[in-house]
Structure 1
Amino acid sequence: MEKMQFKTTISAAVSKVFDTMIGKDTFKLWTTVFNPSSDFEGEWKKGSKILFVGTNEVGKKEGMVGIIRELDRPQFVSIEYIGLLDGENEITTGSIAEEWAGFENYSFETSGNQTTVTVDIDVNDQMRDYFRETYPKALDKLKEICE
């Protein structure tokens, strides 16, 4: 597992950036970079289970199972990933779940009319190159939507 960090500065108020990043309609827009059908099911509320979902190349639902560990609107969100979604099955025990377990944290800092978004994420070995290439593109998309 490797800890990775990604940052971008957006010319928009912190509340707009925060709400755009986790909003039901806008989350899908910036996360299409990861999967064109990207979405979430659940609430952005401390202690809540949240599913990050999409469909794979053959139309099967898949994704990540997470718990919102911290939510300090609009400064910080911490998601702990506890497993995978395979169709309608949540896999939260065993070696597969352990391989994907980790945290993804969003921090928001404001300076004037600009907001810096920092993403700290635990990445397993098989996803390292993918996230290194894709996460900056996703943050560019978030920036485009917010500005």
Structure 2
Amino acid sequence: MKTQQYKIDINASASRVYDLMLNQESYKLWTAEFGPTSDFDGSWAKGAKIIFTAIGEDGKKQGMVAKIRENIPATFVSIEHYGVLSEGEEVTEGPAVEEWAGSLENYTFDEKDGVTTLTVDVDTTEKYIDYFNETWPRALKKLKDICEASS
């Protein structure tokens, strides 16, 4: 597992960036860069289970099962992945999960003079590094556009 880091400066308050990043409707917009049906089921509350979902090529819902390790509004969000959603079933052990189990996705919001630096630290396997290096910057640019629109 390797940690990749992505950063972007957004001309908006940390609370606005945080709210729009996690709001279900705007979440679907910026994460569409990862997949057009990207969504989530669950809660962003500390300790809560959340499932990051998308509709697979077979038309079935798939995704990652995770828990919110920390959520300090407009400051820090930490997600720990511990399973996958496959054919409507949560799988939390076995080969499909081993490469991801325990991986973290951390978001840090640092606001200065009305500009928020959003830092994303993501644990990933070697095979997804190139994909993440292409997709995360696009997704963060989309989030920036959403946050800066009519702010």
TM-score tier, shorter chain, comes to over 0.9
Q: For 1:83 and 1:49, how far apart are their aligned partners in 2?
A: 11
Name the % identity.
Answer: 50
Q: Secondary structure at the match of 1:105?
A: strand
List alignment gaps of at least 5 residues for structure 2.
none
Equivalent residue for 1:48? 48
- Unmatched 5+ residue regions in structure 1? none
CA deviations over 1:32-59 (Å, ceiling 9, x no partner): 0001000000000000000000011231
| Paired residues for 1:32-47 under 5 Å | 32-47=32-47
Question: What's the secondary structure of 2:33's corresponding residue?
Answer: coil
- Could you tell which deviates more after superposition, 33-42 or 121-130? 121-130
**Is the 2:77–2:108 Cα contact (8 Å) retained in structure 1?**
yes
Q: Does 1:137 align with 2:138?
A: yes
- Tell me the SS of whatever aligns to 2:107: strand
SS in 2 for 1:35: coil
How many Å separate the matches in 1 of 2:126 and 2:80? 18
Q: Report whether the alignment pairs 1:98 with 2:98.
A: yes
Partner of 1:125: 126
TM-score of the aligned structures, taking structure 1 as reference length: 0.97
Greater alpha carbon shift after TM alignment, 86-95 vs 76-85 = 86-95
Tell me how large the CA RMSD over aligned residues is: 0.8
Q: Runs in 1 of length 4+ with deviation above 4 angstroms?
A: none
**Distance in 2, Cα, partners of 1:19 & 1:35:** 21
Task: Classify the secondary structure of the residue corresponding to 1:74.
Answer: coil
- Structure 1: how far apart are the matches of 2:147 and 2:11? 8
Q: Is the 8 A contact 2:8 2:140 kept in 1?
A: yes
Question: What CA distance in whole angstroms lies between the structure 1 residues aligned with 2:68 and 2:142?
Answer: 23
Mapping for residues 47-86 of structure 1, pairs under 5 Å? 47-86=47-86
Residue aligned with 2:104, SS: strand
Measure the CA separation in 1 of the matches of 2:32 and 2:7: 18
Number of paired residues? 147
Q: Tell whether 2:111 aligns with 1:110.
A: yes
**Cα offset for 1:95?**
2.6
User: Once the 2 structures are TM-superposed, how far is the Cα of residue 126 of structure 1 from its aligned partner?
Assistant: 1.9
Shift of residue 87 of structure 1? 2.2
Relative to the length of structure 2, the TM-score reads 0.95
Shift of residue 83, structure 1, vs aligned partner: 1.1
Report deviation, 1:125: 1.9
